[in-house]
Amino acid sequence: MSTHHHHAKDFLFTYIFSTDHKMISKQFLVTGFLMGFLGLIMSTLFRLQLGWPGESFEMIEMLMGSWQEGGVMSPDKYLALVTMHGTIMVFFLLTAGLSGTFSNLLIPLQIGARDMASGFLNMLSYWFFFISCMLMLASLFVEGGAASAGWTIYPPLSALPEAIPGSGAGMTLWLVSMSIFIVSSLLGSLNYIVTIFNLRTKGMSMTRLPLTIWAFLLTAILGVLSFPVLLAAALLLVFDRSFGTSFYLSDIYIGGQVLDHTGGSPILFEHLFWFLGHPEVYIVLLPALGITSEIISTMSRKPIFGYRAMIGSMMAIAFLSFIVWGHHMFLTGMNPFLGSVFTFTTLLIAIPSAVKVFNYLTTLWKGNIVFTPATMFSVGLVSTFISGGVTGLILGNSALDINVHDTYFVVGHFHIVMGLSAIFGMFAGVYHWFPKLFGRMMNNKLGNIHFWITIVCAYGVFFPMHFLGFAGVPRRYYTNSEFPMFNEMIDINVFISICAIIALVGQLVFFFNFVYSAFRGPRAPQNPWKGNTLEWTAPVEHFHGNWYGEIPAVYRWPYDYSKVNAAGEYVYGEDYIPQTTPLGDDEKDGGEH
């Protein structure tokens, strides 16, 4: 097996057009985080407007320059920022950034493969993603500004530049960028699926896969089945916008004249959009849940509780996620019977979700929990998954949804259950696998500080939003000052905005820790967390091929932590048994004694 001489390859093919999954993983991570940081800054800017409507801010003027002379945000720019924030966070950070980083890093390393099935497609996947990022960012600078119709880009608003300036060139770039993004996502997902099914090392049966891999596999399947539908939706919208078709448009009077479009329906777009849009929630969430399962088990030095139930619940969630999209559309005038069906399927998701939560809790029970920053963020994920999940019972129930639909209650719900859970999972993953990514360790103290600032501020930002929802405050309002009944809520908005600003500052601690540790952190040992999975049997230094000599074979499931024999002693003297350790004569696999 060729190994060392890969180092001799020139810079371009090692760092830029690399086909090594580990380098591609780092590319996704850094690009995703940079995009995410921009998305975070955008949210802080519009939080300034919401907390102190109409006031002038130097920060706004400095960052937005000539777009916002005088530092007072205009309604147009507010909507553009809201739209871009949503798009960037959901797709660029939490889809590409999260899956791209950890599927790429962990799939070959944890299943025992030298690389992805196709390194070349993998490289293409990253570069399509990169182009997509550039186009999306470029859309901020075109005439009329960035897309402003919300991240869901419902037509006709997104189809008609007469309706909002951002639906001009900005929306065109959005659609092109997203189409390229989908290509990237499909190339990645196909690669992940093929790799998991075909390149597992000797002994690595499906029931010995770490839960991370199961999560990545199901995520990739969701992506392959649902992203093409968004591509179709986007292309039809391009046709409507540029070639005069009427897929989504009918009977429109705007700007003093009747448009020629007839016969289309914006509801069609909503169906197509949410057919991706809802699985997308789980495309974002499942990898985070997989990462957390792995970390909670490793760091509490216990097997994950209910390994098979965890896989089953993820499968159930993945399956159900395809038949619940209508709960985003209860109030579009759809047949009430259809609404009933979607209520039923939606609330069913609570069952596998509850199973997952209880299994996490039981895993922690009687554990010996080592609090690394990765552990902390994993615990944070379980907390946000609970806190945001329970309000889903209100929103998923069509009768109750009527009164909270599109209010801040929704904003609070999905930011906690999806946004926070996913980003907590991503942070946990970065802290945990940093030694694998960069061969160095991150600083724990800074990591802990980062965690505490983040969770306190995150709840500070999103929990009060439920109370805005109780008062009926709609989302995506530039200011609430036009309604006396909402203007009373200004205290809540000020509170939220202050928490958002502190949260932003808190992330700087992370970025500092990240950059510093990547270059100057202490050198990582091969297996710093005493983990069982295969990636910890690979050498610290990176080279194409992952293992010198033979790929290790696997003899047991990945969760033999603190396994004791009849005498109450650790079976092999340590509280962990790597997957490469053959089963003893009197040992059973899969958590059986």
Residues 316-345 that bind another protein (CB under 8 A): 331-333, 336, 339-340, 343-344
Comparison of 203 and 590: residue with beta carbon closer to another protein: 590
Q: Is 163 in the site for another protein (CB under 8 A)?
A: yes
Q: Which of 197, 488, 526, 584 contacts another protein by CB under 8 A? A: 488
Least separation in angstroms between residue 498's CB and another protein is 14
Distance CA 342, CA 412 (A): 22
Return contacts of 146-149, CB within 8 angstroms, 24+ apart.
146/80, 146/83, 146/84, 146/170, 146/173, 146/174, 147/80, 147/83, 147/84, 147/87, 147/171, 147/173, 147/174, 148/76, 148/79, 148/80, 148/82, 148/83, 149/79, 149/83
Comparison of 47 and 544: residue with beta carbon closer to another protein: 47
**Using CB under 8 A, which residues numbered 547 to 576 contact another protein?**
559, 561-564, 568, 570, 575
User: Taking every pair of C-alpha atoms in the chain, what is the biggest distance, in angstroms?
Assistant: 86
Comparison of 243 and 253: residue with beta carbon closer to another protein: 253
Distance CA 399, CA 208 (A): 43
Q: What is the dihedral of CA 14, 17, 20, 23, to 10 degrees?
A: 70
- Please name which of 425, 428, 484 lies closest in space to residue 285, comparing C-alpha atoms: 425
76 and 148 Cβ atoms separated by less than 8 Å:
yes
**Using CB under 8 A, which residues numbered 4 to 43 contact another protein?**
none
Q: Which stretch binds another protein (CB under 8 A): 17-25, 201-209, 366-374, 539-547?
A: 366-374
Q: Which residue has the tokens 């609430």?
A: 480
Comparison of 181 and 478: residue with beta carbon closer to another protein: 478
Least separation in angstroms between residue 19's CB and another protein is 31
Q: Which of 382, 411, 534, 538 contacts another protein by CB under 8 A? A: 382
Read off φ and ψ for residue 235, nearest 5 degrees: -65, -40
Comparison of 203 and 528: residue with beta carbon closer to another protein: 528
Find the length of the chain: 593
533 and 110 Cβ atoms separated by less than 8 Å:
yes
Comparison of 376 and 420: residue with beta carbon closer to another protein: 376
Q: Is 203 in the site for another protein (CB under 8 A)?
A: no
Least separation in angstroms between residue 213's CB and another protein is 18
Comparison of 6 and 440: residue with beta carbon closer to another protein: 440
- Is the sign of the CA dihedral 196, 197, 201, 204 positive or negative? positive
**Using CB under 8 A, which residues numbered 232 to 291 contact another protein?**
249-254, 258, 262-267
Q: Which of 24, 314, 364, 417 contacts another protein by CB under 8 A? A: 364
Structure-block tokens of residue 244: 């005069």
Comparison of 112 and 264: residue with beta carbon closer to another protein: 264
Least separation in angstroms between residue 275's CB and another protein is 18
Q: Which of 113, 295, 320, 376 contacts another protein by CB under 8 A? A: 376
Q: Which of 34, 72, 232, 390 contacts another protein by CB under 8 A? A: 390
Task: List, in sequence order, every residue forming a beta bridge with 474; answer none if it has no partner.
Answer: 407
511 and 37 Cβ atoms separated by less than 8 Å:
yes
Q: Is 357 in the site for another protein (CB under 8 A)?
A: yes
Q: Which stretch binds another protein (CB under 8 A): 26-34, 130-138, 157-165, 177-185?
A: 157-165
SS3 576: strand
**Using CB under 8 A, which residues numbered 51 to 110 contact another protein?**
62, 74-76, 79
Read off φ and ψ for residue 367, nearest 5 degrees: -90, -170
Q: Which residue has the tokens 């950070």?
A: 93
**Using CB under 8 A, which residues numbered 520 to 549 contact another protein?**
520, 522, 528
- Please name which of 351, 423, 355, 412 lies closest in space to residue 387, comparing C-alpha atoms: 412
Comparison of 282 and 486: residue with beta carbon closer to another protein: 486
Least separation in angstroms between residue 576's CB and another protein is 10
Distance CA 567, CA 188 (A): 48
Lay out the site mask for another protein across 454-483 (x = CB under 8 A, - = otherwise): -xx--xx--xx--x--xxx-x-xxxxx-xx
Structure-block tokens of residue 358: 């209880």
Q: Binding residues for another protein, how many (CB under 8 A)?
A: 134
Least separation in angstroms between residue 339's CB and another protein is 6
Comparison of 20 and 270: residue with beta carbon closer to another protein: 270
Distance CA 268, CA 326 (A): 12
Least separation in angstroms between residue 469's CB and another protein is 9
SS3 540: coil
Least separation in angstroms between residue 294's CB and another protein is 15
Comparison of 28 and 434: residue with beta carbon closer to another protein: 434
514 and 50 Cβ atoms separated by less than 8 Å:
no
- Please name which of 152, 135, 74 lies closest in space to residue 414, comparing C-alpha atoms: 152
Q: Is 121 in the site for another protein (CB under 8 A)?
A: no
Comparison of 58 and 541: residue with beta carbon closer to another protein: 58
Q: Is 1 in the site for another protein (CB under 8 A)?
A: no
Q: Which stretch binds another protein (CB under 8 A): 30-38, 112-120, 215-223, 359-367?
A: 359-367
Q: Which of 30, 386, 540, 553 contacts another protein by CB under 8 A? A: 386
Q: Is 592 in the site for another protein (CB under 8 A)?
A: yes
Which burial class, exposed, middle or buried, applies to 67 when counting CB atoms under 10 A from its CB (0-12, 13-18, 19+)? Answer: middle
Least separation in angstroms between residue 289's CB and another protein is 15
Distance CA 560, CA 278 (A): 35
Beta-carbon contacts of 158 under 8 Å, excluding residues fewer than 6 positions away, are: 147, 149, 167, 171, 237
- Please name which of 349, 346, 348, 357 lies closest in space to residue 395, comparing C-alpha atoms: 346
Least separation in angstroms between residue 336's CB and another protein is 4
Q: Is 405 in the site for another protein (CB under 8 A)?
A: yes
Comparison of 206 and 258: residue with beta carbon closer to another protein: 258
Least separation in angstroms between residue 176's CB and another protein is 22
